[in-house]
Every structure is written in C-alpha cells, then in structure tokens.
Homo-oligomer: A and B are copies of this chain.
Amino acid sequence: MKPRLFTPGPTPVPETIQLMMAKPMIHHRNEDFQEYLSACHGKLKYLFQTSSPVIILTGSGTSGMESLVSSVMGEGEEAVFINGGKFGERWGELLTHYQITHYEITKQWGIPVSSSEIIDLITKNPKISTVFLTHSETSTGTYTDIKSITSDVKAKFPLVKVIVDGITSVGSHELRMDEWNIDAIVTGSQKGLMIPPGLALVAIQNSLIEKIKNQKSKSYYLSLQEAVKAHSGNDTPWTPAVSLIIGLKYALEMIEQEGIENVWKRHQLLGESIRRGVTALGLKLFSTSPSNAVTPVYLPEGVDWKKFNSHLKKNDGITIAGGQGPFTGKIFRLSHLGYYDIFDMVTIMVGIERALKACGYSFKVGSGVAETHNYLMENMEK
C-alpha cells in the first residue's frame, strides 16, 4: 500500500532531499560541511525575512523553545504567555521550569488572543519584559495575528520583546521578522521545511543577540550564548545533525526557487481548499481563526475516531492527526504544511470521504473533493 502522510510534522520529505541526505557522511569540522552550514545560515535569513542570525540547534522544536526561555530572560524580568493549546501551554511549562515569574492569558482552544488582552496585562504588571506567542497553534489549527499584536504592544511598550513559536507557521504564513519587529522566532525542521525531525531553527534579532551575550544561559546544551558564539565563526558548539543540515540546505533551495511569497500563497490556497472541501461535506471547522498549516475538523456525530482513523490508515495508507488534550477523539486534523500541491489536497479529500462513508456518515460522495478541486482550479495558477 502506498503510504501517504498528512500530519502537521513530521511532514513528507521530498524524494530528492531524502537522497541528498544519503550522501556519504562528512566531518562537521571540515570545509565541506562548513559550506553547507554557511549556505544554510544565509538562506535561513531569507526564510525568516531577517538580516539577523538564525541559529541551528540539534533537537526538536521544544529544544528551540527551551533555548530561548533559558537564554534570554534576565534577572527579575517577567513574562506572559497565551494558554490556548498544547504548544502555547509549553511556553508556560518552560517559564515555570526556569522559575520565571509569568502571567497566563487563557483562551478557549481555537480562539486567538488579541492585542488588548496582552496590553492590559502588561499595564497591570510592568515588570513583564517578554511576550511569548504562538503564531500557528498546531493543536488547534489556530492562527494568531502576531504582526498586529507586535505592532500594538510595541507602540505602547517599546522595550517589551516579542518571541514567537513559529513551528508550524514558518513557510505556511506570511512572516517578516524584521519588518514586523519580532525579536525571536523558533521553528522545527520537520514542518514547513520538509525535512525529518531533529533540528530547531532559532532566528534572533541583533538587539536580542547583544542582550543574550551579556548574560549566562540556564541551559548548557541549549545555551544560545554558546550557539551565537559558534555561529559567528560558522560553527556549532556541539556535533550537529550533519545529514539533516545537508537536507536543510536543499530544502531552503527549493523554497528560494519557489519564492517565499509563493510558498505562503500556496499554503493559504491549499488550506482554504481543504476548509471549503470539508465544509461542503457538512463538517464543522474547529478554529475561528484558521491556520494555513493544519485544519482541525469536528468528527460528525456517530463517527468514531478510532474507526475513522483506522480506515484511513489500514485501508488506504493515509496518516492524519487526531485531537490533542481535551479534544482527543472529538476532532481530526488534516495537515497541508510543507511539500504539498493540488493533487495532494484532492487525495486527502477523497481519503476523508472514503473513511466517512465507511463510518456510516451520510453525504453526497464527491461533494467535498469537487469543492476543493474547483476552488483550486479557480484560484491557483498552476
């Protein structure tokens, strides 16, 4: 059976990149590797739309988040984070772990935070130096307008830093780090970057780099102080995941060739085509502010998650994601993040229709995929 992956990370790896990563191993302190590393450092700036350094860490996205919490917060500084999903919650867990005084804005899953909520909180707690946001919350498929929030917050509190979890937004949503005045953004390799998991990428504004340099990280392996020092010499503090960095270079080349604006646009159109497709099937979307990376959908009444998922997986070879936390068994999540095109969207819609049918859901076969197909026919140039 042909395997097909529609999860919001890991995402499918282009075959050409899989083979590039199968090149003979090279040593990480030698010129041949340094060329890959230097190419990645350059091309990552384009991805994040920044002129500041982007640090490559060997670890999951969470390791990148920890590198920031453990390295950027100064003595006595306080923070705020948004608890509106599993990954927003993780900022809170990290702040708790490092005993940083912090405030939580709790949002119902699927509803994004607004500027005013953050501004009110900072007004009441002026020791807050840093806002931790989640651009695309993977557990709820919810997009937060970090551009407006950063602009509004900084208009009122120019010294406050904004740090963004861009783990599933980088590559799927417009993101202009310098223009939008964002201080740091973290992503993972197995998301919009289309390579296997194992790397965290952390873009840091030069002003924040200066601050980092003047303090000591609370982490050793994930110290951004060490990473920044090594980065300035085109190196890494510890042995990096060589094969993944080779893959990263080719993935970044693919993104360059398509053009970052086109990559964002493609994700927007593919995401919209899925939202229209599932809506046409009579299903209900979970998020009020949909992410272009992943679409969570309520399971219709009478459709059992395990049976639905098992049909997709065992009958048709398709892997999707289920709900997380309180929504386990209640929603399913379709990913359109990374190496996807029109035909992949058609495929996943047909897969969903086949599984719904097998679970006894009543609908007109073909109505979902036709809507997706039609939307893309009308809106997508090729």
Binding site for B on A (CB under 8 A): 3, 5, 7, 9-13, 18-19, 21-30, 58-63, 66, 93-94, 97-98, 188, 190, 196-198, 219-222, 238-244, 313, 319, 321
- In the complex, the answer to whether B5 meets A197 with C-beta atoms within 8 Å is no
Q: How far is the CA of A25 from the CA of B337 in the complex (A)?
A: 14
- In the complex, the answer to whether B198 meets A58 with C-beta atoms within 8 Å is yes
> What's the number of copies of this chain in the assembled complex?
2
- In the complex, the answer to whether B3 meets A26 with C-beta atoms within 8 Å is yes
Q: How far is the CA of A287 from the CA of B24 in the complex (A)?
A: 30
- Contacts of A29 on B, CB cut-off 8 Å? 321
A305 → chain B, closest Cβ, in Å?
A: 14
Contact of A18 among B22, B28, B242 (CB under 8 A): B22
- Contacts of A22 on B, CB cut-off 8 Å? 18-19, 21-22
- In the complex, the answer to whether A321 meets B27 with C-beta atoms within 8 Å is yes
Q: How far is the CA of A66 from the CA of B237 in the complex (A)?
A: 14
Could you name 25 residue pairs across A and B whose Cβ atoms are closer than 8 Å? A3-B26, A5-B25, A10-B25, A10-B26, A10-B27, A11-B25, A26-B319, A27-B321, A28-B197, A58-B58, A60-B238, A60-B240, A61-B238, A62-B220, A62-B239, A66-B221, A190-B239, A190-B242, A197-B239, A197-B240, A198-B198, A198-B242, A219-B221, A221-B222, A222-B222
Chain B CB within 10 Å — which of A9, A62, A243 has the most? A243
- Contacts of A30 on B, CB cut-off 8 Å? 313, 319
